[in-house]
Amino acid sequence: MSFLDLKNVTKIYPNGTKAVHETSLSVEEGEFMVFVGPSGCGKSTLLRMVAGLEDITEGEITLDGNLINEVDPSERDIAMVFQNYALYPHMNVYNNLAYGLKNRGIDKKDIEQKVNEAAKLLQISEYLERKPSMLSGGQRQRVAMGRAIVRNPKIFLFDEPLSNLDAKLRIQMRLEIKKLQQKVGVTSIFVTHDQTEAMTLADKLAVINNGVIEQLATPIEIYNNPKSLFVAGFIGSPQMNFIEGELKNNTLSAEGFEIKNVKSDFNGDITLGIRPEHLSQSDNGLINLNVDLVEQLGSDNLVYGQLKDKKDFCYRCPGNLTIKKGDKLSLNIDNENYFIFDKSSGKRVN
Amino acid sequence: MKIKPLQISAHIILLLGVLLMVVPIWISFASSTHDTVTILTEGMKFNIGEHFSRNYNEVLNEKGGWSEEVTAAKMFINSFIMALGIATLKVTISAMSAYALVYYRFKLAVPIFWLIFITLLVPLEVRIFPTYKIVSDLGLTNSYTGLILPLVASATATFFFRQFYRTIPDELLESAKLDGANSWRFFLDFLVPLSKTMIAAMFIFMFVYGYSQYLWPLIMTTSEKYWTVVMGMKIIFTESYEGVALPRTAERFAYIILSMIPPVLVVVILQKWFIKGLIQTEK
Ligand SMILES: Nc1ncnc2c1ncn2[C@@H]1O[C@H](COP(=O)(O)OP(=O)(O)OP(=O)(O)O)[C@@H](O)[C@H]1O
Ligand SMILES: [Mg+2]
């Protein structure tokens, strides 16, 4: 049994919305689990059921060996960082951190020591006397983290805690959260709809769509080996290219090209997925691209264009290649690095 | 800096408003320092007279009423107790019932709220006989409890607290819960401090409401020991002159001035809080 176990957990809201479908999942002690998925897919709902803020319609959640379905959130020993931080507006930073400890009846001296330690760790020691309204977004974020850390809970939950920060601060805080989690070693679940955040933070990544976990694995496994069309499209930036086609007797035919000896027994309509970074230029390549636009990132260039059938397509090449608008490129797929999905079910078939 | 005509006219209007409020009080005060004969013969006064200490001394200490036992000082105390009790209980009960209505989500919360709200249509004056019957059946006539209890429920305050609580984001409750706060702690540690300006405002209104009650204490009390200031105004300081009751006007003015002090004090004390809360915007 793992540290946190969800068994066939289902959530149906009173208005009939089924937000989470029979979901099973386990998180090991000390692991950093990330839930990622588009808006409305049920990430928050799942997290809030772990926290005890939503009733569990069906299924079981066990934490550290105890069934917690009916345990009040105040008794679960879980800390959560909210998207808008939910700092206590009438208390100064010190009391924001100390409040949870006070409720647990810890004596004053210990509280002071713990708060000061946490404040130091998060570099908010100078602001302890301030009210939250007198802090910047990044500082509030740290206070929210501090409030979670100081209690040394069994598990940390984060619900999109970085989405209110500007891009630069977000990257910085992302790093800090990762470092902090490694230092403190607390089991964590982090919810986000940003795939970069998900990839960089996660030990394990759960890609959720419409209340169902589509794939649960390490980030690199998900990147290398997406199990479904949805996962393939969601993870990776820029997005994977998709081309419609047909697979028959191990031969894949799409608009303008064919791939022979495909390792798949599937026959029928398929979607071919190719990541922009898994392509390279060659004479007589499979794919012919008419370049519309080139984005120079320095290290890389992102080349956008259209295929024969006017379908949009992206190719990522090293930054030292000079490609300009109007060029016609001929591209090959590197090392059979392509993914084939059943067009109707979205399941991976190669 | 040029002063614009608009500014001037605004100030004139404000000044007129201030005069309208202050002049009657000043007249009462000035008149209270003369003797009754002067006022009766010369009308109300604008200047300070010589009888300040004598008049006020008399008002505070002279025993009046039928039994010649009750003093104005005693009536001030009664009124103060009554108003304090009403204001405190009204604020407490309203805040707590609004808390229940907003945070305990059960189906009847909304109908119950409207039921409470409808009670605004039946103020004490309308239901005074049944109320009197209940209070007297409970043996509470001539007691502070009897004076206070029928007036402690407040739909208005419940309404204001409810509206305020509804603006508090749910995350605050949720994160307090995860921090180990139970319902009581959330009420005491969050809602009360967050609504302290509203509590102060409600307390002021309710204190003045309680202090100016007339009909209820009049019906409720048969013993002069429980007379209140507002009742006393009509009854005491009357002099019998050839069988006709004549008011002792100067003493009555002094009495009026004194009767204004407790509510004014409450406003002045709580105003500090009130303004502090307004300045420190807490998001
Ligand atoms: N209180 C509620 N009552 C009814 N339906 C709800 C409630 N809360 C959420 N839902 C629905 O449940 C589904 C999942 O919502 P949830 O908040 O978990 O999404 P999410 O993945 O966190 O999305 P986002 O990334 O936008 O935060 C949505 O379709 C939403 O409309
Ligand atoms: Mg969400």
Q: Residue B246: what pLDDT? A: 66
Nearest CA, atom 28, ligand 1: A40
Contacts of A80 in chain B (CB under 8 A): 174-175, 178
Does the ipTM surpass 0.90? no
Looking up residue B186, the CATH number of its domain turns out to be 1.10.3720.10
Q: Which two tokens stand for residue A187?
A: 């089991």
Q: Which two tokens stand for residue B68?
A: 């010649």
Strand boundaries in chain B, DSSP class E: 63-64, 70-71, 238-241, 244-247
Q: How far is CA A194 from the centre of its chain?
A: 6
State pLDDT tens for residues A244-286. 999 999 999 888 788 888 888 899 999 999 999 999 998 888 8
DSSP-derived letter for residue B89 is H
- Alpha-carbon distance B187 to B181, whole Å? 9
State pLDDT tens for residues A13-23. 999 999 999 99
Three-state secondary structure call for residue A193: coil
Would residue B133 count as lying in a domain?
yes
Q: Measured from the CB, is residue A41 less than 6 Å from ligand 1?
A: yes
Would residue B118 count as lying in a domain?
yes
State pLDDT tens for residues B10-53. 999 999 999 999 999 999 899 888 887 787 788 887 888 888 88
CB atoms within 10 A of CB B233: 16
- Dihedral of CA A318/A321/A327/A329: which sign? negative
- Total domains present in chain B: 1
Three-state secondary structure call for residue A145: helix
Would residue B191 count as lying in a domain?
yes
Q: How far is CA A4 from the centre of its chain?
A: 19
Would residue B97 count as lying in a domain?
yes
State pLDDT tens for residues A135-173. 998 899 999 999 999 988 999 999 999 988 888 889 988
Exposure letters A46-60 (e unless 16+ CB within 10 A, then b): bbbbbbbbbebeebe
What number is the average pLDDT over the span B121-136? 89
Q: Measured from the CB, is residue A39 less than 6 Å from ligand 1?
A: yes
Q: Is B66 a residue whose pLDDT tops 80?
A: no
**Class of A238-342 in CATH:** mainly beta
- Dihedral of CA A312/A313/A314/A317: which sign? negative
By C-alpha distance, the chain B residue nearest A84 is: B171
Interface A–B counts its CB contacts (< 8 A) at 67
Range of the domain at B181: 62-236
Q: Measured from the CB, is residue A193 less than 6 Å from ligand 1?
A: yes
* Domain extents in chain A: 4-227, 238-342
State pLDDT tens for residues B259-273. 888 889 888 888 887
Helix axes B72-103, B52-61, angle to 10 degrees: 70
Would residue B24 count as lying in a domain?
no
Would residue B271 count as lying in a domain?
no
Q: Mean pLDDT for chain A?
A: 92
Contacts of B171 in chain A (CB under 8 A): 82, 84, 86
Q: Residue B68: what pLDDT? A: 67
Under 8 Å between Cβ of B257 and B59: no
Q: Is A340 a residue whose pLDDT tops 80?
A: yes
State pLDDT tens for residues A64-114. 999 999 999 988 999 999 988 999 999 999 999 999 999 999 999 999 999
Residue B214, classified by CB atoms within 10 Å of its CB into exposed (0-12), middle (13-18) or buried (19+), is: middle
CATH fold label, A4-227: Rossmann fold (3.40.50)
Would residue B259 count as lying in a domain?
no
Output the pTM of the full model: 0.83
Query: Of the candidates A346, A339, A340, which has an alpha carbon nearest to the alpha carbon of residue A223?
Result: A339
* Paired strand residues for A12: A18
Which residue reads 């009664």 in tokens? B78
Query: Of the candidates A252, A238, A230, which has an alpha carbon nearest to the alpha carbon of residue A348?
Result: A230
